[in-house]
């Protein structure tokens, strides 16, 4: 049987037609949310070779083991799982841009951050502190399809957004979807280990 997607001898993915995953390694597909969706689409089809299916299934299970939280997460913590969803529900109106009860397109990416923040030192005087790192940017399209950015620090000036908001506004006005913990992802294994611990 001929497949549209299969594994080459070097371990890379081969495609019979143009595809963004052509010549990528299966490991690459499970890293980012966008390519994980492609991997899930492959697993749901019959047009994938058995060796590629097996490799993707093993990698997806391994990722779940590494990332599954052990306990239910707070809304702040669950924001780290927003890249797994395509839409987010509005709980309360936000200005005239978002309407309670409606669902909006959401996307997540990161951007380098360089901020100078005034902080009070141990002597009571104020000094400027330079903060650098990587910022999580959560973008939601409003009723007029304008992008709003939700982030901790001020977003980069070159970012094309209509308006920026703090992450606290995101939590206050939107329903942050649940992030399944190990009891939901591995119910049988969780029950087995719980029974073994109880028997000790």
Global pTM value? 0.68
Residue 40, burial from CB neighbour count under 10 angstroms (0-12, 13-18, 19+) = middle
- The predicted pLDDT at position 134 comes to 78
Residue 177 pLDDT > 80, yes or no? yes
% of residues, the chain, pLDDT over 90: 41
Evaluated on CA atoms 185, 108, 135, 60, the torsion sign reads positive
Nearest CA among 178, 185, 183 for reference residue 78:
178
Identify the band that residue 190 occupies on the pLDDT scale cut at 50, 70 and 90: confident
Give the number of other Cβ atoms within 10 Å of residue 140's Cβ. Answer: 24
Residue 143 pLDDT > 90, yes or no? yes
- The predicted pLDDT at position 93 comes to 97
List, for residues 74-96, the tens digit of each pLDDT value.
Answer: 999 999 889 888 899 999 999 99
> What is the Cα–Cα distance from 143 to 130, expressed in whole angstroms?
36
- The predicted pLDDT at position 171 comes to 96
Query: What mean pLDDT is reported for the chain?
Result: 88
- The predicted pLDDT at position 21 comes to 87
């Amino acid at each position: 049987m001929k497949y549209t997607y299969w594994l080459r001898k070097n371990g890379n993915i081969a495609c019979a037609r143009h595809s963004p995953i052509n010549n990528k390694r299966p490991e690459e597909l499970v890293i980012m949310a966008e390519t994980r969706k492609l991997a899930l689409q492959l697993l749901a089809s019959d047009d994938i070779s058995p060796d590629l299916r097996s490799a993707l299934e093993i990698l997806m299970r391994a990722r779940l083991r590494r990332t599954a939280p052990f306990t239910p997460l707070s809304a702040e913590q669950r924001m780290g799982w927003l890249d797994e969803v395509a839409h987010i529900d509005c709980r309360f109106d936000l200005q005239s841009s978002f309407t309670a009860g409606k669902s909006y397109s959401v996307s997540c990416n990161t951007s380098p951050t360089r901020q100078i923040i005034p902080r009070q030192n141990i002597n009571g005087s104020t000094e400027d502190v330079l903060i650098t790192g990587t910022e999580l940017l959560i973008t939601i399209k409003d009723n007029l399809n304008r992008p709003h950015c939700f982030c901790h620090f001020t977003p980069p000036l070159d970012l094309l957004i209509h308006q920026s908001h703090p992450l606290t506004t995101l939590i206050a006005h939107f329903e942050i979807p649940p992030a399944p913990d190990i009891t939901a992802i591995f119910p049988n294994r969780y029950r087995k280990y719980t029974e073994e611990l109880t028997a000790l």
